[in-house]
Amino acid sequence: MIEVKNVSYRYDDRAALDGIDLTIDDGEFVAIIGANGSGKSTLAKNLNGLLLPTEGRVLVDGIDTRDDVWSVRARVGMVFQNPDNQIVGAVVEDDVAFGPENLGVEPLEIRRRVDEALSTVGMLEYRGAAPHKLSGGQKQRVAIAGVLAMRTKCIVFDEATAMLDPRGRSEVLSTIEDLHRRGLTIVMITHHMDEAARASRVIVMDGGRIVKLGSAREIFSDVRWLKKIGLEVPAAAELGARLRLKNILSADDLIARLKR
């Protein structure tokens, strides 16, 4: 559904993306990892026309982001890192309605979509609440509902769990997995390997390029290489590597293996 063709992007005189080629299929769950400044957010913003490539093309369902950015944004939604800075409405349901209102959807249909989106993320009972009274995880779920109500086919999460406590993080992660099961295409940018491990495909970025691409197990088997390109490696994975055990991503993996 998304084709990135030889895309480069420069901020003023600084190259942030350098010849990216990538195809994301309908219904796929892709994770993007990479050190700070490796170009993950820049790539994400190129996927829905928030930034337009300096060179190359991005096609969403065959539509070039240069030609019709609004049709592209109606297909690819985005959830950002800071839960406080992406909610527009002073009441939860008004915020969720914001996207469909912009798309010119009929009022009754908006009402239906808002209720449906809020119940999908488990926030229906908070529809009348003020956003600033919610927890971080709840705010992110409201932001997700705001994208769902637009009926996009794909959602890009740019470190959507980075500012949350463990509880909020797991709320948001299980929501994302649920959406994937419902058939949405998911692109998830993260610094956490245990999060990336849930994806069917992991993309590793370094210096504006895609340097590795494969299943989570393949990517995470080489702990030394990951550390070399500046990625945080979970303590369990590192210990696993030192013990010369393969495929250790979390403490649970490690315990299971050591018990054997």
Ligand X SMILES: Nc1ncnc2c1ncn2[C@@H]1O[C@H](COP(=O)(O)OP(=O)(O)OP(=O)(O)O)[C@@H](O)[C@H]1O
Binding footprint of another protein on the chain (CB under 8 A): 48, 50, 70, 73-74, 77-78, 80, 82, 84-91, 93-94, 97-107, 110-111, 114, 128, 130-132, 143, 146-147, 150
| Cα separation, 176 vs 170, whole angstroms | 10
| Cα separation, 95 vs 88, whole angstroms | 6
Q: Binds 89, which of Mg ion, another protein, ligand X, none (CB < 5 to 8 A, cut-off by type)?
A: another protein
Look at the block and give the residue holding tokens 């992406």: 86
| Cα separation, 200 vs 154, whole angstroms | 15
If the CB atoms of residues 77 and 240 are measured against another protein, the closer one turns out to be 77
Q: Binds 15, which of another protein, Mg ion, ligand X, none (CB < 5 to 8 A, cut-off by type)?
A: none
Measured CA angle at 239 (ends 237, 244), to 5 deg: 90
If the CB atoms of residues 14 and 132 are measured against ligand X, the closer one turns out to be 14
If the CB atoms of residues 41 and 140 are measured against Mg ion, the closer one turns out to be 41
If the CB atoms of residues 47 and 248 are measured against another protein, the closer one turns out to be 47
| Sign of CA pseudo-dihedral 84, 94, 158, 19 | negative
> Crossing angle for the helix pair 136-148 and 166-181, nearest 10 degrees?
20
Under 8 Å CB-to-CB from 98, ≥6 apart: which residues? 88, 89, 146
Q: Are 4 and 56 in contact (CB under 8 A)?
A: yes
Work out how close the CB of 213 gets to ligand X at its nearest, in angstroms, rounded to a whole number. 16
If the CB atoms of residues 37 and 122 are measured against ligand X, the closer one turns out to be 37
Work out how close the CB of 208 gets to another protein at its nearest, in angstroms, rounded to a whole number. 20
Q: Binds 11, which of another protein, ligand X, Mg ion, none (CB < 5 to 8 A, cut-off by type)?
A: ligand X
If the CB atoms of residues 117 and 189 are measured against ligand X, the closer one turns out to be 189
- Closest by CA position to 121, among listed 149, 87, 144: 144
Interacting stretch for Mg ion, rule CB under 5 A, among 34-42, 62-70, 106-114, 219-227? 34-42
> Crossing angle for the helix pair 136-148 and 92-102, nearest 10 degrees?
30
- Closest by CA position to 99, among listed 149, 54, 50: 149
Work out how close the CB of 144 gets to another protein at its nearest, in angstroms, rounded to a whole number. 12
Q: Binds 215, which of ligand X, another protein, Mg ion, none (CB < 5 to 8 A, cut-off by type)?
A: none
Q: Is 140 in the site for Mg ion (CB under 5 A)?
A: no
Look at the block and give the residue holding tokens 């409405």: 89
Q: Is 41 in the site for Mg ion (CB under 5 A)?
A: yes
If the CB atoms of residues 45 and 153 are measured against ligand X, the closer one turns out to be 45
| Cα separation, 78 vs 152, whole angstroms | 10
Q: Binds 211, which of ligand X, another protein, Mg ion, none (CB < 5 to 8 A, cut-off by type)?
A: none
| Cα separation, 185 vs 30, whole angstroms | 8
Binding site for ligand X (CB under 6 A): 11, 14, 16, 34, 36-42
Binding site for Mg ion (CB under 5 A): 41
